[in-house]
Structure 1
Amino acid sequence: MELRHLAAFIAVAEEGGFTRAGERLHLVQSAVSAAVRNLERELGVTLFERTTHMVELTDTGRLLLAEARRTLSAAEAMRGVVDQLSGGLRGTVRLGVMQSQRPPWVSVPRLLAGFREEYPGVNVELRCGASAEHARDLREGRLDLAFVALPAGAARTLTLTPIASQVMRLVCPREHWAAGRDDVELHELADEAFADSPVNWGSRIVVDRAFEAAGVERKVHYEVGDMSSIVDFVHYGLAVAVLPPSVVDEAADVCLVSISEHAPVFATSIAAPADRELTPAALALFEAIRTTAAAERRDRALLPSAPGGGHPDHVHPGRAHEPAGSSGRPVDSRSHQV
């Protein structure tokens, strides 16, 4: 059994066709088809149902896809160990990032600049998407690591390492009835029109769960694919929002109001699959992410996540801070499996 045959099988399954799989693997379609046929012949099974319009996995193909991913991942890990022994780490790491990810969370450009300087032989492929999509792609082997903003219960079979968190706050126009108040309760917002992220985004999941915990059914009138753009909807009086304070520019003509009970916490974690070992290249990137996150907490005095994903204390209005006793050292970011 050849690894290139497994790679072709995985690519066809993930891309939904031989042509797109060939583009991904930089091979002509006939070479991909031949690789899959050879694998089917060797295993004595049919992996795909082929028609003139579509290619679908058979039941056997679905069962073998997970094993093929694990086998290819193990081979890549072995190759990484050999590269380390020969004096240079090499390989490719597929990293999922969030669309609204920017300082004061982990700056991806800053992360990659430092990582490339230390490991020039490692290529990092970025894939932008929602947290729920990243969780699925990690489970199915399409990603090695990903930044996610998910409650622990929403990330089954993944290992989450907390990076940073902020208590979210109500963002409202200056003319809004809540503007100028010290805090509001979620039940007071039941009749408000909200702008929020799409339903599968981590921030949306966190806020939805907070309202559910408070027994409040809210109305999301506008779904926006970038958290900083949500502020514009608030500025023009179209809606209110619940956001991390860091995404609200200081020059924005809006008000930030604390939430007194059931305040949602936007926590960013680095996620990895719990059922397989990281390759040496992925492990090196994981450590670089932790180092970069610690440096950015020192730079911006962010409130880090509590070990094990616990919620931090409430943030004083208008001011993010580190917990009492923090000396700028990296937080205890012990991973927890969920």
Structure 2
Amino acid sequence: MELRQLEYFVAVAEEGSFTKGARRVRVAQSAVSATIQKLERELGVPVFSREAAGITLTDAGMALLPEARGLLSAERRARDTVDQVRGGLRGTIRMGTLTSIAARPAGRGLMVIDLPQVLGRFHVTHPLVTFQLRTTPRGSAGHLSSILAGDLDLALVCTVERPDGIRLHQLGSIPLCFVCARRHRLADATSVSLEDLADETFIDFPRGWGNRTMTDRAFAAAGIVRDVPFEAADQDTALGLVRNGLGVTLLPRVGSEEDGIRVIDVDRRDLDLPVAVALPTDRQPSAATAALLASILRAAGRSAGGTV
């Protein structure tokens, strides 16, 4: 069994198709298919069920996947160790990102850190380190799952969870505000309570996103069942829906103060969204990952000791 076979297998399994898996590893699909067929012959069992509707992992494939991920991670760490002996930080850092906590467009302010700036400066200092930046439709929950599975080295997350196997380095928090159209009945209020919003139609982020989880918990604690017919995967889309009178939402003040929009404080301390860097507890970060973590913490004015 070769590491290349496992790399192709993991890529196809995670992407859900041979075509996407081949694109990810930048190899012809025919070569990926032939390599995985060789792997299956060596194992004596199929790892994928190939049907007209697509591919799925067999029981053997499901059992192999975490082991394959672990072997590939070990191989990466071994290469990183040797590279460091050769001089200078080297290697690849796989990082999960959330667009809402990076820099906003010019003039719209800063959430917590300017991630592109941090990465740019890090690249100047450590040019032999490469990055793989990933987003996920599952928000912070998706990044935390990927860290536990060994698919990410670290991730910026907005989470109120404290999952087992995850170490969080707190960067700060973002207060959420009530956001409505200027013609809304509460547009002239100086502050609102959750009870004031009980009958509103809400626009919110998908389940699994940290701000959605926190908002759901706050309303549940207040005994309020929200109506959330609209989901948006980014702040600008949510603001567009609000501006056109389709509902209200809870968003950070930064980036929400636009024409046709009112941003109003909410009388709840439990609507401050924590922002953190997440890493696994069961494996040591590479030297490059540790150096990037230190750069992120410095940019946020934090120290490495601020973990939970």
| TM-score computed with the length of structure 2 as normaliser | 0.86
Q: Distance in 2 between matches of 1:283 and 1:332?
A: 10
Selected match of 1:273 from 272, 280, 291: 280
Q: Distance in 2 between matches of 1:181 and 1:22?
A: 55
Q: Distance in 2 between matches of 1:252 and 1:53?
A: 47
Q: Distance in 2 between matches of 1:259 and 1:18?
A: 48
Structure 1 range deviating more: 80-89 or 163-172: 163-172
Q: Distance in 2 between matches of 1:260 and 1:236?
A: 25
Q: Residue deviations 1:30-55, cap 9 Å, x none?
A: 43234334434444443223346533
Aligned residue number for residue 254 of structure 2:
246
Matched, 1:120 2:127: yes
Matched, 1:143 2:115: no
Q: Distance in 2 between matches of 1:263 and 1:31?
A: 52
Aligned residue number for residue 214 of structure 2:
206
Offset, 1:210: 0.9
Q: Residue deviations 1:255-288, cap 9 Å, x none?
A: 3332224641212111223333323333332222
Offset, 1:82: 0.9
- Counting only pairs closer than 5 Å after superposition, residues 156-305 of structure 1 correspond to structure 2 as 156-249=164-257, 251-261=258-268, 263-294=270-301
Native 8 Å contact 2:169 2:304 kept in 1: no
Aligned residue number for residue 21 of structure 2:
21
Letter in 1 for 2:213: I
Q: Distance in 2 between matches of 1:333 and 1:218?
A: 38
Offset, 1:332: 6.4
Q: Residue deviations 1:95-115, cap 9 Å, x none?
A: 221133332222222021111
Letter in 1 for 2:111: P
Aligned residue number for residue 327 of structure 1:
none
Residue segments in structure 1 that go unaligned for 5+ positions in a row: 295-329
Q: Distance in 2 between matches of 1:19 and 1:192?
A: 44
Aligned residue number for residue 302 of structure 1:
none
- SS of the aligned residue for 1:247 comes to coil
Q: Distance in 1 between matches of 2:67 and 2:61?
A: 10
Aligned residue number for residue 306 of structure 2:
334
Q: Would the alpha carbon gap of residues 248 and 25 (structure 1) be closer, same or farther in structure 2, given more than 3 Å must change? A: same
4+ residue runs over 6 A deviation? none
Q: Would the alpha carbon gap of residues 234 and 41 (structure 1) be closer, same or farther in structure 2, given more than 3 Å must change? A: closer
Letter in 2 for 1:284: A
Q: Residue deviations 1:123-173, cap 9 Å, x none?
A: 1122223222222322333322221112124x4532222112022222234
Q: Distance in 2 between matches of 1:239 and 1:182?
A: 19
- Cα RMSD over matched residues? 2.5
Offset, 1:239: 2.5
Matched, 1:105 2:129: no
Native 8 Å contact 2:297 2:304 kept in 1: no
Letter in 2 for 1:81: T
Q: Would the alpha carbon gap of residues 217 and 92 (structure 1) be closer, same or farther in structure 2, given more than 3 Å must change? A: same
Offset, 1:216: 0.7
Q: Would the alpha carbon gap of residues 276 and 332 (structure 1) be closer, same or farther in structure 2, given more than 3 Å must change? A: closer
Q: Distance in 1 between matches of 2:300 and 2:288?
A: 18
Offset, 1:90: 2.2
Letter in 2 for 1:224: A
Q: Distance in 2 between matches of 1:283 and 1:81?
A: 13
Q: Would the alpha carbon gap of residues 17 and 168 (structure 1) be closer, same or farther in structure 2, given more than 3 Å must change? A: closer
- Counting only pairs closer than 5 Å after superposition, residues 24-173 of structure 1 correspond to structure 2 as 24-51=24-51, 54-101=54-101, 102=103, 103-129=110-136, 130-153=139-162, 155-173=163-181
Q: Would the alpha carbon gap of residues 79 and 188 (structure 1) be closer, same or farther in structure 2, given more than 3 Å must change? A: same
